[in-house]
Amino acid sequence: MQDIQQHRQQFLGLKDKFYFNFGGQGILPQSALQKIIDSYEHIDKVGPFGLKMNSWIEENISTAKKSIASEIGVTSESITLTENVSVSCNIPLWGIEWQKEDEILLTDAEHYGIIAIVKEISRRFGVKIVTCPIIDTLNHDNPVEVIKNHLTPHTRLVVISHILWNTGQVLPLKEIVSVCHNYTYSQQQIQVLVDGAQSVGSLPLNLIESEVDFYGCTGHKWLCGAAGVGFLYVRQDLITSVSPTFIGWRGLNYSKTDLPFADDSRRYEVATSAYPLFTALKEAIAVHQQWGTIEQRYHRICELSNYLWTQLTKIEGIECLKHTAPESGLVSFYLKNGKDANKMVKILEEKGFYLRTLVNPYCLRACIHYLTLETEIEALIKVIKDEN
């Protein structure tokens, strides 16, 4: 593994700031930015619409999927390229043929965007929404039991995040999927859709082993790709059973004269995209993999977030949401002595420290990436102590 200081030189955006917002958006490595520029130049040079360009686009799509597949340990045929995690989650959510008596089980830690999709599905199809209290399981209680206790004979889909964006809790994916798939009272197998916004690029996923049905991701957060590229994993045996909702020429099977939908995950892709952005995600993944495997990166994330958490717990007037060492790069904490979290974020940003607040629970959140330095954590601790 390369020395982290040296490795970080590739991320120019990290030079002049203390960046703790990877869960919002990552920072592009310089070589990924260069790939975007080179690709646009190449397109102009070769001719944007021609046989050579069509081959370049096909090759670019195929290698982007291979790169994503290598990072998350699945086949490239099970990857659909999208714009972001919200689009990725929309695909199975609208693709399921909902019946009036169906229920969707959500946790109370899901992102507003995902809740909004589920609410609209409920309004249009009369599907019932059930929300289970997962946030409270951070320090006690078993999240698997909570989910199990909220399943009913009508539950059709369970929507969870793998890492909760507010508390940083890692949900045990394999156990949750197993409970849902083996729920015997349901007329049909309960499927699981995962919002992987905070997990992809920060946590080893083991998707095949987990048997998860649908897993939505984005490339612009922990993977440090360009904003505008996300992806969806659909378990291979489910692909032909979930219909596409947004439809276009990229989703068709050209080997058949009646042009049906492709029978792999291309069926959910629509039409023209900003193809040069795919090269940036591919390059960013290669840069991370040059430093270490996802297991090695996750190990470093846990060591560093543990360090931040330990230091925060020593500051009077700060309370970490999690009472034991973090299992992810998200470290959330309350200000207890009357200071307002939004004001604190503003003060911190003026000093070059990028954090964010969360609404529920109202707190601050620091993201620890494997690119984070111990010295950055020490500097953050010092400024929080001074300002608190």
Ligand X SMILES: Cc1ncc(COP(=O)(O)O)c(C=O)c1O
Q: Residue 115 or residue 379: which is nearer to ligand X going by CB?
A: 115
Question: What is d(CA 252, CA 258) in angstroms, rounded to the nearest whole number?
Answer: 10
The one-letter code for the residue type at 387 is E
Greatest C-alpha distance within the chain = 70
Task: Name the one range near ligand X by CB under 6 A: 133-141, 148-156, 193-201, 271-279.
Answer: 193-201
Q: How far, rounded to the nearest angstrom, does the alpha carbon of residue 272 sit from its chain's CA centroid?
A: 23
Q: Residue 67 or residue 86: which is nearer to ligand X going by CB?
A: 86
Residue owning tokens 């083996």: 182
The one-letter code for the residue type at 335 is L
Which of 21, 67, 84, 372 is in the footprint of ligand X by CB under 6 A? 84
Task: Name the one range near ligand X by CB under 6 A: 142-150, 191-199, 294-302, 330-338.
Answer: 191-199
Residue owning tokens 């560093």: 304
Six-digit token pair at 205? 């996923």
The one-letter code for the residue type at 312 is L
Judge whether 147 and 158 are in contact, CB under 8 Å.
Answer: yes
Q: Residue 19 or residue 307: which is nearer to ligand X going by CB?
A: 19
Task: Name the one range near ligand X by CB under 6 A: 144-152, 174-182, 195-203, 296-304.
Answer: 195-203
- Shortest distance in whole angstroms from residue 198 CB to ligand X: 5
From the CA atom positions of the chain, what is the Rg in Å?
A: 22
For 120, the 3-state DSSP assignment is helix
Which of 7, 111, 154, 365 is in the footprint of ligand X by CB under 6 A? 111
Q: Count of H helices and E strands in the chain?
A: 12, 13
Q: Residue 79 or residue 85: which is nearer to ligand X going by CB?
A: 85
Six-digit token pair at 24? 């919002």
Residues in the chain: 388
For 148, the 3-state DSSP assignment is helix
Residue 303 phi/psi, 5-degree rounding, is -60, -45
Task: Name the one range near ligand X by CB under 6 A: 13-21, 109-117, 167-175, 274-282.
Answer: 109-117
- Shortest distance in whole angstroms from residue 372 CB to ligand X: 18
Which of 103, 195, 213, 269 is in the footprint of ligand X by CB under 6 A? 195
Which of 86, 90, 265, 279 is in the footprint of ligand X by CB under 6 A? 86
* Residue 330 near ligand X by CB under 6 A: no
- Shortest distance in whole angstroms from residue 60 CB to ligand X: 21
| Residue 192: strand pairing partners | 158
- Residues between 206 and 235 with contacts to ligand X, criterion CB under 6 A: 218, 230
Binding map of ligand X across residues 133-172, x = CB under 6 A, - = no contact: ----------------------------x---x-------
Question: What is d(CA 200, CA 163) in angstroms, rounded to the nearest whole number?
Answer: 9
Six-digit token pair at 131? 């929300």
Q: Residue 164 or residue 380: which is nearer to ligand X going by CB?
A: 164
Q: Residue 10 or residue 26: which is nearer to ligand X going by CB?
A: 26
The one-letter code for the residue type at 360 is N
Q: Give me the residues that bind ligand X (CB under 6 A), please.
A: 24, 84-86, 111, 113-114, 161, 165, 195, 197-198, 218, 230
